[in-house]
């Protein structure tokens, strides 16, 4: 055993070197992160052979018998939250006197890192809506089971490469609050004050509407590039309790008036003036609107295409009536159940179906690499973009259009969509080519035309 306690963020937490076997079962592979409450390790379950995340709490909490008992009870309650958009808690264990949570290890980035990766520190509205929709479904599921998150913030919202949102740290704030453990300096508020509701900052009991407020703050940050309020804890508390936020559209005119209204209602000071539930806020966001609506002028259609569409729709209807499942981007999922649960189709990549012939996709570029071109030089080298301004066009084929747009925007490109059918790609707004072609070196800030299928069938509810 090579584990010992050390000071982390003002308290003692379990320190484990690579190769350490914690709890006689979990072998530490690396450190994923550390904060004021805990350290998170990546580890391998020696029995099941799967990769897990271990969250170890500060030793001061472990020294209290009442806390240890409460911690185990709440951790096992969290383990009962079985939802696609919630980080799964597998078990609660301990090494010596220090307890730790064994959870799903999510391969992805948190919202904070995604925001930091953008030059303007914000996300496009389509991506933010889809992220918020998944987050609200997770919160609704937890609220129905009596669990309030209490600490919604960018670092607790993870997004996988496939576009699936995973909400972490359910119940941790409640455990410590209920046990009356002193956290940090006198007057310090547990959690992230930038995202907390006025009632929490006043020391009142959190409710599901407190989480709704925090989602409003998160959306505000994602779309404007900053939280509605800033300052130290005392100033933040005063602003959350008394000050109205600057309207989001005053900071970013690209935000729709609809989503601005949703954010401002969620940020109401009085909980009674907010959405009554997470699902009510989800309904207001209305992610079901086809993303290509209003861009139909760029969607070329032909009589042949309409005939194929009619044939595909007829086959879909017959299969549905026969009790089967339509494999058009959703594998063998049951579409009726999917619409009710809204939990299964959050991937950015889609399974293909065969449609009509369409013009072939542009060939992947075979041009020399940037370093090769620049090293050989040429007569017109001075007219070419500087090397640092050239970015290779990524492969976004088989992405849903909104996720392809997010990927390209994050790399500094402008994006234009052209919608047309393509053999092998489902008619769900799935991308199948780009111009310039995949692999081409293009100037940062230039426009990329993305070819995608029309959304004749709705994309899965994210």
User: Does 179 have pLDDT greater than 70?
Assistant: no
pLDDT at 14: 54
Q: Are 422 and 451 in contact (CB under 8 A)?
A: yes
User: Residue 261 is encoded by which pair of tokens?
Assistant: 């209204």
Of 74, 52, 305, nearest to 177 (Cα)?
74
Q: Are 26 and 3 in contact (CB under 8 A)?
A: no
Alpha carbons 139 and 115: distance in angstroms, whole number: 22
Sheet containing 108-110, strands listed edge to edge, beginning at the edge strand earlier in sequence: 108-110, 157-160, 165-167
pLDDT at 219: 97
pLDDT at 402: 84
How many Cβ atoms from other residues are within 10 Å of residue 208's Cβ? 22
* Residue positions annotated with a catalytic role: 151
CATH class, range 300-452: alpha beta
Which comes out higher in pLDDT, residue 179 or 206?
206
pLDDT at 348: 41
Confidence label for 428 from pLDDT (cuts 50, 70 and 90):
confident
Which comes out higher in pLDDT, residue 265 or 322?
265
User: Does 344 have pLDDT greater than 80?
Assistant: no
pLDDT at 208: 93
Burial class (CB in 10 A: 0-12, 13-18, 19+), 351: middle
Tell me the CA distances in angstroms from 158 to 108, 162, 169, 200, one per residue in order.
6, 11, 11, 24
User: Does 351 have pLDDT greater than 90?
Assistant: no
Q: Which range, of 51-60, 271-280, 413-422, averages the lowest pLDDT?
A: 51-60
Q: Are 198 and 241 in contact (CB under 8 A)?
A: yes
Q: Which of 73-87, 135-149, 260-274, 298-312 has the highest mean pLDDT?
A: 260-274
How many Cβ atoms from other residues are within 10 Å of residue 306's Cβ? 11
Q: Are 440 and 393 in contact (CB under 8 A)?
A: yes
pLDDT at 205: 86
User: Does 286 have pLDDT greater than 50?
Assistant: yes
Which comes out higher in pLDDT, residue 420 or 191?
420
164: left (phi over 0), alpha (psi -120 to 50) or beta: beta
User: Does 360 have pLDDT greater than 80?
Assistant: no
User: Does 307 have pLDDT greater than 70?
Assistant: no
Alpha carbons 397 and 360: distance in angstroms, whole number: 13
pLDDT at 248: 96
pLDDT at 459: 57
Alpha carbons 85 and 351: distance in angstroms, whole number: 21
Q: Are 434 and 442 in contact (CB under 8 A)?
A: no
Is residue 125 helix, strand or coil? helix
pLDDT at 195: 93
User: Does 56 have pLDDT greater than 70?
Assistant: yes
Alpha carbons 120 and 85: distance in angstroms, whole number: 27
Average pLDDT, the chain: 74
**For the chain, what are the domain ranges?**
3-104, 108-181+190-285, 300-452
Q: Which range, of 24-33, 179-188, 275-284, averages the lowest pLDDT?
A: 179-188
Q: Which of 144-148, 151-155, 265-269, 395-399 has the highest mean pLDDT?
A: 265-269
Handedness of CA 442, 448, 451, 456 (dihedral sign): positive
User: Does 445 have pLDDT greater than 60?
Assistant: yes
262-266 mean pLDDT = 97
Q: How do residues 102-129 score in pLDDT, each as one tens digit?
A: 999 998 889 999 999 888 899 999 999 9
Is the CATH number 3.30.200.20 carried by domain 3-104? yes
Q: Which range, of 184-188, 236-240, 407-411, 443-447, averages the lowest pLDDT?
A: 184-188
| Residue at token pair 């090579």 | 2
Is the CATH number 3.40.50.2000 carried by domain 108-181+190-285? no
């Amino acid at each position: 055993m090579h584990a010992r306690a050390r000071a982390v963020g003002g308290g003692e937490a379990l320190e484990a070197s690579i190769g350490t076997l914690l709890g006689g079962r979990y072998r530490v592979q690396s450190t994923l992160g550390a904060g004021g409450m805990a350290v998170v390790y990546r580890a391998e379950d020696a029995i099941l052979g799967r990769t897990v995340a271990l969250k170890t709490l500060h030793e001061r909490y472990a020294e209290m018998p009442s806390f240890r008992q409460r911690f185990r009870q709440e951790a096992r309650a969290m383990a009962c939250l079985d939802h696609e958009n919630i980080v799964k808690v597998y078990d609660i264990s301990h090494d010596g006197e220090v307890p730790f949570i064994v959870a799903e290890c999510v391969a992805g980035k948190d919202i904070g890192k995604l925001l930091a990766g953008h030059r303007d520190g914000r996300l496009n509205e389509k991506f933010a809506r889809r992220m918020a929709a998944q987050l609200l479904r997770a919160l609704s599921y937890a609220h129905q089971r009596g669990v309030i998150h209490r600490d919604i913030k960018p670092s607790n919202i993870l997004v996988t490469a496939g576009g699936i949102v995973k909400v972490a740290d359910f119940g941790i704030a409640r455990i410590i609050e209920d046990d009356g453990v002193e956290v940090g300096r006198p007057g310090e508020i547990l959690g992230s004050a930038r995202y907390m509701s006025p009632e929490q900052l006043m020391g009142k009991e959190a409710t599901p509407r407190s989480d709704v407020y925090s989602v409003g703050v998160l959306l505000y940050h994602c779309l404007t590039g900053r939280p509605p309020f800033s300052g130290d804890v005392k100033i933040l508390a005063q602003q959350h309790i008394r000050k109205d936020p600057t309207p989001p559209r005053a900071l970013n005119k690209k935000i729709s008036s609809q989503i601005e209204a949703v954010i401002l209602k969620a940020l109401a000071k009085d909980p009674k003036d907010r959405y009554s539930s997470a699902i009510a806020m989800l309904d207001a966001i209305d992610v079901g609107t086809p993303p290509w609506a209003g861009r139909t002028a760029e969607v070329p259609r032909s009589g042949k295409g309409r005939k194929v569409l009619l044939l595909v729709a007829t086959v879909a209807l017959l299969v549905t009536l026969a009790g089967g499942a339509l494999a058009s981007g959703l594998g063998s999922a049951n579409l009726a159940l999917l619409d009710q649960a809204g939990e299964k189709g959050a991937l950015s990549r889609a399974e293909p179906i065969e449609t009509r012939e369409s013009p072939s996709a542009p060939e992947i570029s075979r041009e020399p690499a940037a370093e090769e071109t620049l090293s050989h030089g040429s007569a017109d080298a001075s007219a070419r973009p500087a090397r640092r301004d050239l970015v290779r066009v990524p492969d976004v084929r088989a992405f849903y259009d909104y996720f392809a747009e997010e990927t390209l925007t994050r790399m500094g490109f402008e994006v234009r969509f052209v919608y047309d059918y393509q053999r092998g790609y489902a008619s769900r707004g799935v991308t199948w080519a780009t111009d310039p072609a995949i692999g081409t070196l293009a100037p940062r800030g230039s426009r990329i035309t993305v070819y995608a299928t029309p959304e004749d069938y709705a994309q899965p509810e994210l």
